[in-house]
Amino acid sequence: MNLDEPNHIAALRDTIRRFVARELPREAVRKWDHDDEFPRAVFDKLAALGVTGSTIPESYGGTGRDIPATMATIEELARRSFPIAVAYINCACYGGMNILESGSEAQKRELLPRLARGEILFAYGLTEPDIGADLASVKTRATRRGDTVIVTGAKRFCTGADIADYVYLLANSDPAGARHKNLSLILVPPKSPGVTLRPIPTMGLRGFPSFDATFDAVEVPAANIVGGEAGWNQAWPMLAGPTLDVEKLEVAAIGIGIAAAAIDDAWEYAQTRVQFGKPVSSYQAIRHALADAKTRLHAARLMLRHASWLADRGEPCGVETSMTKLFVSETAKRIVLDCQTVMGAYGYATEFDLERHVRDVLLLPIIGGSSAIQRNNIANRLGLPR
Ligand SMILES: Cc1cc2nc3c(=O)[nH]c(=O)nc-3n(C[C@H](O)[C@H](O)[C@H](O)COP(=O)(O)OP(=O)(O)OC[C@H]3O[C@@H](n4cnc5c(N)ncnc54)[C@H](O)[C@@H]3O)c2cc1C
């Protein structure tokens, strides 16, 4: 593996950085966070750059499936705006990657070109009020009635459901069936009759809210079963397949973006804040904190680069992606908290971005499989006997 980033990814980063500077000024991002508002028009401009096609082959209207490019995009967006990065993921990854991997040919032909153009968004409907990590035990029911599927149940933390075109919903489709062979994924438009959304206020990711979504005998066509008829009761291999590996990397890429932004701010601040007649950057405690933060970020970047490279080549990478998700999300949290210390009171004031980075980064070890779940994966996959 060549550790240098290829030229096309360096060019992509440059494009996204210019987009961020133009469309996502700091003051606007801070206001959207404060007002809990999502700038959909900015996302539409992002989509117009063609970047939402980075998970989709050219034959379906994308720019070619390119995991390292997708991760670079997420990182650069998260460096300024967590909500815009998540909207990108909901489109390119939750939509594009899942439909490419698990959709029927008809679903690919219908949805992938629209996802590549950034016209439609997905939301994940996996978690339920009583179900967190143990997804195979979901209680939401999907029942067949001729050419329709009836969905009844409740999903929790369904992020972005208010602006999504489809909830990628996990349901139990055969209560008498064996565990892991009784689940289906259904595409449910959240505007369908019988769907109710209630926002769940959270400390971070403001502007892109999560919802309690209830489904009261919601009818969708059987064509909305992910994978078509062949996908009925086949959700588990779809969930545990290559998209799960990439999903872990998406969280890591967000962590690197947020940590890099925190370091940028603390690095700058340490040089301008003068105490006892000298910039605080001259004090060893501050210098070491920033040197450690840069070092940790570098290690995190290398882990993400390696795991993305493996995933892009379709190689088995369940251990590496879990290690990357675990290390990078925990490391990003540590980096951001250390940068907050460097900035003292100004790392706590809402007039500075660092306070938002603290609220946002705390989410990363929780979502996409918690740190404990990643540790379980690593120990199990490496064959550690119980
Ligand atoms: C802001 C936000 C957005 C979210 N967005 C979405 C979304 O869009 N779609 C969606 O479906 N979900 C979403 N989630 C839910 C998220 O994926 C959940 O956090 C996840 O499902 C785990 O559930 P839980 O946090 O309730 O933890 P639980 O699974 O209830 O676990 C509680 C604690 O026990 C630990 N634990 C659980 N099982 C084990 C085990 N076997 N071994 C060791 N430790 C264990 C966990 O690590 C955790 O510390 C979101 C959550 C938040 C906060």
Give the tens place of pLDDT for each residue, 278-293: 999 999 999 999 999 9
- For 241-381, CATH number? 1.20.140.10
- Angle formed at CA 91 by CA 368 and CA 18, multiple of 5 degrees: 100
Name the closest-CA residue to atom 27, ligand 1. 132
| Max intra-chain CA distance, the chain | 79
| Domain regions of the chain by residue span | 7-120, 124-238, 241-381
If you classify domain 124-238 with CATH, what class do you get? mainly beta
- DSSP character at residue 364: T
Alpha carbon distance 170, 172 (integer Å): 7
Task: Return the pLDDT at 303.
Answer: 98
Q: Which regions of the chain does DSSP assign to beta strands (E)?
A: 122-125, 141-145, 148-155, 166-172, 183-188, 195-200, 210-221, 274-275, 278-279
- Residue ID of nearest Cα to ligand 1 atom 4: 157
Q: Ligand 1 — pocket residues by CB below 6 A?
A: 123-127, 132-133, 157-159, 202, 205, 210, 363, 366-367, 370, 372-373, 376
pTM for this model (two decimals)? 0.97
| CATH entry 1.20.1440.230 includes domain 7-120 | no
Predicted confidence (pLDDT) at residue 1 exceeds the cutoff of 90: no
**What's the pLDDT at 66?**
97
Give the model's pLDDT for residue 379: 98
Distance of CA 17 to the CA centre of its chain: 19
> What pLDDT was estimated at residue 301?
98
Q: With CA atoms as reference, report the closest residue to 293 among 260, 265, 248.
A: 260
Q: Would you say residue 2 has pLDDT above 90?
A: no
Atom index in ligand 1 nearest the CA of residue 155 equals: 11
What was the pLDDT predicted at 241?
85
Same topology, domains 7-120 and 241-381? Answer is no
Distance 254 CA to ligand 1 centre (A): 18
